[in-house]
């Protein structure tokens, strides 16, 4: 059975916080556009959302400067 996720489900999972963020994720991060299931109702399959999550990097860019010292070396001096 296909499980459909609505905006609230995406928010509850911590994927998005608001509609502008959802639009940015779709436009810039490859988030699936979903499908319209009513005149004002958009939904995504759980499978496509999980696939998108798995495609995301597991870590950000390598820290630089002070952030690198704080993250990588507890004994570093400023």
Count of domains for the chain? 1
Residue 32 included in any domain: yes
Within-domain flag for 62: yes
Question: Residue 5: pLDDT above 80?
Answer: yes
State if pTM tops 0.85.
Answer: no
CA 54 to chain centre: 10
In a domain, 67, yes or no: yes
Instruction: Give the pLDDT confidence of 51-73 residue by residue, as tens digits.
Output: 999 998 887 777 777 766 665 55
Would residue 51 count as lying in a domain? yes
What is the spatial distance between Cα 66 and Cα 13, in angstroms, rounded to a whole number?
A: 32
pLDDT tens digits, 46-55: 999 999 999 9
- Longest Cα–Cα distance of the chain, Å, equals 59
Domain that holds residue 15: 4-72
CB 36 within 8 A of CB 48: no
Beta bridge partners of 36: 42
10-29 residue pLDDT tens:
999 999 999 999 999 999 99
Q: Tell me if 71 sits within 8 A of 63, measured CB to CB.
A: yes
Res 33 pLDDT > 60: yes
The answer as to whether 68 is a domain residue is: yes
Task: State the pLDDT at residue 66.
Answer: 74
DSSP 8-state code for residue 41: E
């Amino acid at each position: 059975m296909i499980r459909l996720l609505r905006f609230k489900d995406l928010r509850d999972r911590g994927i998005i916080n608001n509609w502008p963020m959802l639009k940015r994720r779709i436009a810039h991060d490859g988030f699936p556009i979903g499908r319209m299931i009513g005149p004002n109702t958009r939904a995504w399959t759980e499978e496509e959302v999980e696939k998108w999550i798995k495609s995301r990097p597991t870590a950000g860019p390598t820290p630089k400067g002070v952030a690198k010292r704080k993250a990588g070396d507890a004994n570093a001096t400023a």
